[in-house]
Structures are given as C-alpha cells and as structure tokens.
Amino acid sequence: MNLAAATNETLAEASNVLIYSSMAVYTLAFFAHIAEWVFGSRSKVGRTAAALSASPAAASAAPAVKAQAGGTAVLERPEVITRSAAGMRDVPDGPGAAGGTFKGDLYGRIAVSLTVVAFVVEAGGVITRALSVQRAPWSNMYEFSITFSTVAVGSYLVLLALKKNVRWIGLPLVTTVLLDLGIAVTTLYTDSDQLVPALDSYWLWIHVSTAILCGAVFYLGAVGSILYLFRDSYENKLASGGTPGKFASSVMERLPSAASLDKFAYRINAAVFPLWTFTIIAGAIWAGDAWGRYWGWDPKEVWSFITWVAYAAYLHARATAGWKGRKAAYLALVAFACWLFNYYGVNIFVSGLHSYAGV
C-alpha cells in the first residue's frame, strides 16, 4: 500500500469516527431538548389554554404569563399576535418549548449548543470523507445521507442565527437526524470509492449539492406543515368548546399559532422552489453531457419532475385558488413525500441510470 492510499484510508476511518461522534453529541442534544419540553410543561402557561379561544378579542386580551423558577428569573410570555388569512383565527404564538420557564430555557440553550457542536463534528466527517476520495462526498446514498443531515441542521442553525423563532424545530430535527445517520451507518454504508464515469464531472458539485440543499430546506417546511396540522386541530377543538387532553395542551400551546406555522411552511417552500427548478435544469444539462440527451424518462428524472409539479401545484394553489391551511399543508406533505420517494424509493427499488445507491 503506497502512502497516498494509506492516507486516504486513514481519512476514511477518521470520517467514520467523526460521524459516530456526531451521533453521540446529537443524542445528548436530543435529551436536552426533551428536558426543555419537560420543564416547559411545568409552566403556568399550561393554565392559559382558554386564551386561545376562537374569539380574536379573547386572544388579544389574554394576559401575559410569567413563570418563575426558584426565584431566580422571570420570563415574559411573548405577546405575538399573528394576523392569519381570512377564515383562520388570530391567536397569539406560544412561548416556545421552554414554556417561559428558566430551567426549560436553560436546557433549550444547552440543546442548541450541543447541536452546534454536533453539526461541526458531522461537517468534519463529511469533509474528511471528501478528502479520502478526493471528490465531492455524495456519490452514493451513504454520502448523500450524511451530507443531507448536515445541511438540514446547518439550515436550522442559520435561521436561529437570524433570530427567527424556530427553536421548536429542534426536537423533531435532532430526532430525524439521528434516524437518518442511524440508517446511513448501518444500512446504507459504502466504503470510499472512486466515481463511476458518468458521475466524474464538475456537474456533480453543482447538481447534487443543490439537490441536497433543497431537500434539507423542504424537510424544514414539512416539519412546519406537520406541526401546523396538529396545532390547527388543537385550536379547532378549543374553538368548538372542547377540552384537549393535558398532554396536547402542554405541547400544542407552546408552539407558534397555526397561522404562523402555515406561513412558515409556505415561505420556506416558496424560497427554495426556484433552486429546485435550477436543480432539475442542471441535471438535464449534465445528462446531455454524460449520456447525449437532456431527458430520457429515467426514474430519477421522472420523480424529480413529479416533485417539481407537486410543489408547483402547492404554490400555485396558494397564490391563485386561495388554498391555505389544511388543504395546502396536505399538498405540501404530498410534495415532500415525492421528494423522499425520489431519494429512497428510486435509489433502492428502481433500476435506472441513476442507480448509485451503493447498497
């Protein structure tokens, strides 16, 4: 074994160590987020669910809620009112997973700090993987998966750095990342290897990197849509005079309002849709260089286009037909399901020119 091969093997082993290390830190972040939600459930906010009634006047008149832990700090519940679309309620956003408690907020900050550390470690694993093969680290499903989760966490941290109220994404995000990495290191793992001829192009950096970024951001939008559906059901039950269970009240009332979650999902999906359009165009150009045709009805090409149509229909329905709320959320989730099938289903179960799963 020559020196270069030995160095590459060492880098590949270092990448594996870093990925496993990031999983350990993500696990700590997961438990910290759990603690944030648990301590947040002890907040006095739990006694103010009636403020989220159907009446806008009642919502706007809801008193600020203070929660005190050990006499050390008092945090005010945010007085945020989201003006929703016609036919939807105007209710205040919840105070977040911490519920306005000092301990909940402390554990939430710890969780975010651990997530930052895990992100840096995982990014190091992706970079060392790239160095070990001296190419872009996403030529198979294992490499795509570790890069995807890295970009998803990075996107979340960017939103936090921009002072966006998105810490409520932390727990579902970290949970998903652990599942993604668990599948990657057990089922999808592939040893470092060189590219097949069709992938040996600078378009790999352009096309696949944008596909990963789009998928990561679409994922954040899907989380917003799922939580919107739960929150909307909770608000509907309150509006109809029902009494949600203690667990539902404890969790749902700390989330942003249904209108805020609906708007968040829409803005995320709308922002990244042009980049997904570029991804498909870039793939067509690459196909022309690699195979001598821009479009050949390959399964990956077909499902990429189906995903584009689904998101286009979602955005078009919101803009022209006034589809907001639950119908739009269902359509957004169908679109993301198409993206997931394009990644997992097509790569594993369907044969085609894009069969680079490596498993």
pLDDT above 50 for 23:
yes
CA angle 310, 137, 298 (to 5 degrees): 40
The pLDDT of residue 268:
94
Tell me the pLDDT of the chain averaged across its residues: 83
pLDDT digits (tens, 9 = 90+) for 221-254: 999 999 999 999 999 988 888 888 888 888 888 9
pLDDT digits (tens, 9 = 90+) for 173-218: 999 999 999 999 999 888 876 666 667 778 888 898 999 999 999 9
**CB burial class (10 A; 0-12, 13-18, 19+) of residue 72?**
exposed
66-68 and 74-76 beta bridge pairing:
antiparallel
In this prediction the pTM is: 0.83
pLDDT digits (tens, 9 = 90+) for 65-106: 444 444 444 444 444 444 444 445 677 888 888 888 899 999
Concatenated DSSP letters of 63-78 = PP-EEESTTS-EEEPP
pLDDT above 70 for 255:
yes
Mean pLDDT over 267-278 rounds to 95
Mean pLDDT over 331-356 rounds to 82
Residue 51 pLDDT class (50, 70, 90 cuts): very low
